[in-house]
Amino acid sequence: MMPRTAGCRRPATPLLVVPLLYSLVAFLFYLVLARRVRQQPESALDLAVTLRVQRLDHPLLGKLMSWVSWPGFRPQSLILPGLVVGSLWVTRRRLESLLLSVAWMASMGSFLTKLVIRRPRPRHPLIRVTLAKLRDTSYPSGHTLHYTAFWGMAAYLAARATPWRPLRRLIASAAAVLIALVGPSRIYLGHHWLTDVLGSYLLGSAWLVGLISLHRWLRGRQSSAEQAPPATKSERARPAVLVGRFW
């Protein structure tokens, strides 16, 4: 029996099982929460959290929350992602461009869920609602889902393409802060309930982890193919010999 060479295909590693399992569990929790919200659109917990968050009333905090939410409103929510996806395609980073396009499609999940759940926006008399062009229903938070899935994936790809470690950390930290703040900003501005935000974090993180796992798997296959030694003339002829013997 001949020993395996370095170019032989290795068995698939189980490293993808954990992130994919997380994506599945997070998506299931998202569906469970959606069902609960559909059955009970208003809850005391949602109201209590909103009132508690809005007690932190300060002009600087209000500006910060408005600034954090600004990229998620139209037209910038269409222009900025389009520029990122288009620039990657033009610079021939086609795989990254396609994966970011799929990350952008997470917003379609928000749109479809809203059509089914149809949860009203916060309208309680004690809640302060900041004036904005709110186009649809409440569950889930489109801002939070978009930031988590798309901008999280964009930060991941940017960090991987950066050879300088401090810059990679800066990109990851900036994205983490933005994603962490967008949920509270939607509650602070009175545009969403707590459960809207939690549902978006669940679906968005499931989408993000799944795409990162897919990207790593594809890059791993590409690296293995590039590192494999070229087949010798006898190895290339072996399948033809076997086929001849079979027939």
Tokens of 210: 């799944």
pLDDT tens-digit map of 220-241: 777 666 665 655 545 544 444 4
Cα separation, 156 vs 27, in Å, equals 21
Cα–Cα distance between 109 and 145 in angstroms, integer? 9
Whole-angstrom distance, CA of residue 66 vs CA of residue 196 = 18
Distance, in Å, from the CA atom of 94 to the CA atom of 116, rounded to the nearest integer, reads 34
The dihedral through the CA atoms of 136, 102, 37, 115 has a sign that is: positive
**Rounded CA gap, 212 and 158, in Å?**
12
Contact 195, 43 (CB under 8 A): yes
- Say which residue the tokens 């659109």 belong to: 41
Answer positive or negative: Cα dihedral of 26, 31, 37, 40: negative
| Confidence at 98, pLDDT banded by 50, 70, 90 | very high
Instruction: Please determine, for residue 210, whether its predicted confidence score (pLDDT) is greater than 50.
Output: yes
Please state the pTM of the whole predicted model.
Answer: 0.84
Token pair belonging to 192: 């969403």
**More confidently predicted of 136 and 12:** 136
**CA-to-CA distance for 142 and 59, rounded, in angstroms?**
25
Residue length of the chain: 247
The Cα 196–Cα 141 span in angstroms is 5
Q: Nearest to residue 204, comparing CAs of 128, 131, 126, 146?
A: 146
Average pLDDT over residues 15-23: 87
Q: What is the pLDDT of residues 137-146, one digit of tens each?
A: 999 999 999 9
| Three-state secondary-structure class, residue 164 | coil
**Cα angle at 151 between 206 and 63, to 5 degrees?**
115
Confidence of residue 10 (pLDDT cuts 50, 70, 90): very low
Give, rounded to a whole angstrom, the gap between the first and last alpha carbons of the chain.
25
Instruction: State how far the Cα of 28 lies from the Cα of 221, in Å rounded to an integer.
Output: 29
> pLDDT digit string (tens) for 52-66?
999 998 999 999 999
> Rounded CA gap, 41 and 109, in Å?
19
